[in-house]
Amino acid sequence: METIFLILVGGMTKASIYFLVAAGLTLVFGVGKVINFAHGSLYVLAMYVTYSISTGLFGGGPYSFWYALVLTPILLGAFGCIIERFLLRRIYGKEHLVQLLLTYGLVYIFQDIYRLGWGVMPKIVPHTTFMGGSMSIMNVTIPQFNLFVIFCSAAVFLALSLVVSKTSFGRFSRAVAFDEGMCELLGVNTQAVYTGIFALGCFLAGIGGALATQLGVVHLGMSAHITILAFILVIVGGVGSINGAAVAAILVGMTESFGALFLSEFGLVLIYLVMVTVLLWRPFGLFGKPAF
């Protein structure tokens, strides 16, 4: 029982990180219709930025990570505005091959940035002393930071749901995703909506990347894995659906955790099996809508 409970917490922790990455990707894909293969690279960039802020700017002190957790998403959001303004804005409405070439090219550029800025050796962000201990739940010792990650992801989910459903920006975003031309005729600044959505996606990747630094090391080969997982979550959950990204993240996170315990050799295969099963049942995803 103790092992199962620990796996559940571990699965929810993974699901929380996956959701933060996939939520940004599904918003960009759903509203901007851009296939952003560089989204995983932005997540890894956030991890490196967190490392630099924690160890360089604040010297690796006991609260340095918390400063980085605040600053990193803001910096990633601002960087996202620059990428959208000078690169992505030029390919809106173009065929997906053009989007693929541009964003996939960004992946290689980011890889060189990592090498030039941080070298090829893995980096370790100093572990925080605050929330760095453990607590006992049902006589099971659980790391406090894992619970904090789950709490953060749940808070972001609630905040995103409110933004999408209750704010003017959310209503404009849904309208632009449905009919951009009509929105422009009605005076909606669609370019500002696209910029805001992409910045929000980068901001969420910044939160996920910053939190992930306390759960493992930072290394060059991470972007491909997280990008594939993010696209799997978007496909399983449904393009543009925050609820779908959350459910898919839990499904994949739990599958990965339990698969590592019982079928360690086929852990990755199980994730693809989940995706295939969902697509056979609902080709447009759990919470997606048919295109016709």
Q: What is the pLDDT of residues 232-263, one digit of tens each?
A: 999 999 988 999 999 999 999 998 888 777 76
Task: Please state, in angstroms and as integers, the Cα–Cα distance from residue 132 to each residue in 59, 60, 251, following that order.
Answer: 18, 14, 27
The predicted model gives 134-159 an average pLDDT of: 88
Residue 95: alpha-carbon gap to chain centroid? 24
- Cβ contacts of residue 193 below 8 Å, gap of 6+? 31, 169, 172, 173, 176
Q: d(Cα 288, Cα 161) in Å, to the nearest integer?
A: 16
The predicted model gives 148-177 an average pLDDT of: 93
Question: What integer pLDDT is reported at residue 6 of this predicted model?
Answer: 83
- Find tokens 């103790």 and name the residue: 2
The residue with greater pLDDT, 152 or 128, is: 152
Tokens standing for residue 93:
């409405």
Q: d(Cα 39, Cα 100) in Å, to the nearest integer?
A: 12
Give the containing element (helix H, strand E) for 99: helix 96-118
CA-wise closest residue to 239 among 197, 285, 185:
285
DSSP 8-state code for residue 179: -
Give the containing element (helix H, strand E) for 137: strand 134-137
Question: What integer pLDDT is reported at residue 150 of this predicted model?
Answer: 95
Question: What integer pLDDT is reported at residue 236 of this predicted model?
Answer: 94
- Cβ contacts of residue 190 below 8 Å, gap of 6+? 176, 180, 183, 184
Q: d(Cα 116, Cα 95) in Å, to the nearest integer?
A: 33
DSSP 8-state code for residue 123: B
- Is the pTM above the cut of 0.85? yes
pLDDT tens per residue, range 27-63: 999 898 888 999 999 999 999 999 999 988 777 777 8
Q: d(Cα 97, Cα 240) in Å, to the nearest integer?
A: 20
The predicted model gives 91-111 an average pLDDT of: 89
The predicted model gives 66-95 an average pLDDT of: 92
**If 0-12 CB within 10 Å is exposed, 13-18 middle and 19+ buried, where does residue 86 land?**
exposed
Answer yes or no: is pLDDT of 133 > 90: no
Q: d(Cα 217, Cα 113) in Å, to the nearest integer?
A: 18
Answer yes or no: is pLDDT of 129 > 80: no
